[in-house]
Amino acid sequence: MFNEVKEMYAAIGVDVEQALTALAAVPISLHCWQGDDVGGFEGSDGALGGGLAVTGDYPGKARSIDELRQDLEQVLGLLPGNHRLNLHANYGDFGGKPVDRDAIEVAHFQSWIDWCARNNLGMDFNPTCFGHSKADDGFTLSSPDSGIRDFWIEHCQRSRAIGAEMGKQLGSPTVTNVWIPDGMKDLPVDRQSYRQRLSDSLDTVFAEKLDPAHNIDAVECKLFGIGSESFVSGSHEFYFGYAQKNQTALCLDAGHFHPTESIADKISSVLMYVPELLLHVSRGVRWDSDHVVLFDDATQQIMQELVRCDALSRTHIGLDFFDASINRIAAWAIGTRAAQKSLLLALLEPRKTLREAEISGDYTTRLALLEQAKALPWSAVWDEFCRRNDAPTELELLGRVKDYENDVLAER
Ligand code: RNT
Ligand code: ZN
């Protein structure tokens, strides 16, 4: 079957083996927070806050670092290819002791670095500027209170240093992504001062130059959140300008724009002005920005743009969703595989022919070929990729998830 499919693609000028090699070279950064509903391991049971909300109470959630690692190992076994771990600062190994956010150190993350080294994973990192009493009034780096700002500046500075050490030890740069929840439920009368303070705080956070071979800084915008419907300090325009001026990476989260706005069309523009891109592949549904990623038009269009713009080498692909209403391992695996399948489909496009049709004004051929590409048996190529990488094929996936649920999750 696979060989026939390969010939079919060869007939339209697509080299399947080349596509598989390219797919294998793209790691997806797995977000640790799908495993425990963004809880973390600080030992406090505080509210998540920051406009983040996780709904559902599916049994089997990871309650400790060991359980989260066990689950991640399971997920990694369900994914073809080599990936990365995206860790939030509140997931440190604090040994049961209270360590406030302005006191985190590399030592608290050493066991994660070691675990990643053993599992052949690169690491990405995030300061955690939510789920904390000092973020309860809705502001962190743009707060009018200088004491609050200083606290979060210290946390972000420490996070960058930790990110750099992760990247150094693992021999692959860590993307340290700053997202803050700052915003207002109702109409502000002084948007400007919040943005000025945010800009100043970020300048202090990024003042120390770190080796880009170890740490890459990224900033993440958002249009609105729960409780910040009218205003968010770190809007798209704000961070696009900031990233451009300071040449940091820009993070585009697929769920952080107007409900019908796609981040796919932004990629070719922002990459003209910022050096690198971080993607939070996610799925917005009405007011929620974090549903499990699907193999849908939005995800396919993002991956098409990365391939068509030849942007894979300048893009870090991460995921950002959390669903507690279904098996969390399934959520992780299905969402990640959906991103990978979308990338594969993009890599299997007859790019040269499509471009020739477009440039010569033959839009009929362009449209026909794009429709044709969807109907080709690309899923046989995906299953082959899974088999070569010792991962379950599409039809085998659910059984594997259910086995783990019965053997491990049901005992929790
Ligand atoms: C929130 C942002 C952010 C978080 C994670 C947990 O809207 O998308 O990336 O989801 O940092
Ligand atoms: Zn995000």
* Tally of domains in the chain: 1
Across the strands, what pairs with 323?
none
Q: Let me know if 384 is a catalytic residue.
A: no
Catalytic-residue membership of 291: no
194 pLDDT more than 90: yes
Residue 157 within a domain = yes
Angle at 319 between CA 64 and CA 254, to 5 degrees: 140
Report which residue type is found at 288. Answer: D
Q: Is residue 18 part of a domain?
A: no
Closest C-alpha to ligand 1, atom 10: 320
Kindly give the pairing relationship between strand 288-291 and strand 283-285.
antiparallel
Q: Which residue has the higher pLDDT, 395 or 53?
A: 395
Q: Which of 42, 124, 182, 320 is catalytic?
A: 320
Question: Strand, helix or coil at 247?
Answer: coil
- Phi/psi-derived region of residue 390, left when phi > 0, alpha when psi is between -120 and 50, beta in every other case: left
pLDDT band at 41 (very low <50, low <70, confident <90, very high): very high
Q: What is the CATH number of the domain that holds 91?
A: 3.20.20.150
Tell me the mean pLDDT in the region 244-271. 97
In a domain, 372, yes or no: no
Atom of ligand 1 nearest to the CA of 38: 6
Percent of the chain with pLDDT over 70: 100
Range of the domain at 155: 27-338
Check if the beta carbon of residue 408 is closer than 8 Å to that of residue 62.
Answer: no
Q: Is residue 156 part of a domain?
A: yes
Pairing of strands 249-253, 315-319: unpaired
Residue type, 182: D
Are β-strands 174-178 and 215-220 bridged in parallel, bridged antiparallel, or unpaired? parallel
Asked if residue 357 belongs to a domain, the reply is no
Burial class from Cβ neighbours inside 10 Å (0-12, 13-18, 19+) for residue 160 reads buried
Assign 53 a pLDDT band (cuts: 50, 70, 90).
Answer: confident
What pLDDT does 125 receive? 99
Strand partners, 219: 178, 250
In this structure, the chain runs to a length of: 412
Residue 403 domain flag: no
Beta pairing, strands 315-319 & 28-31? parallel
**Residue 51: predicted pLDDT:** 86
Q: Is 406 domain-assigned?
A: no
Answer whether residue 362 is part of any domain.
no
pTM more than 0.95: yes
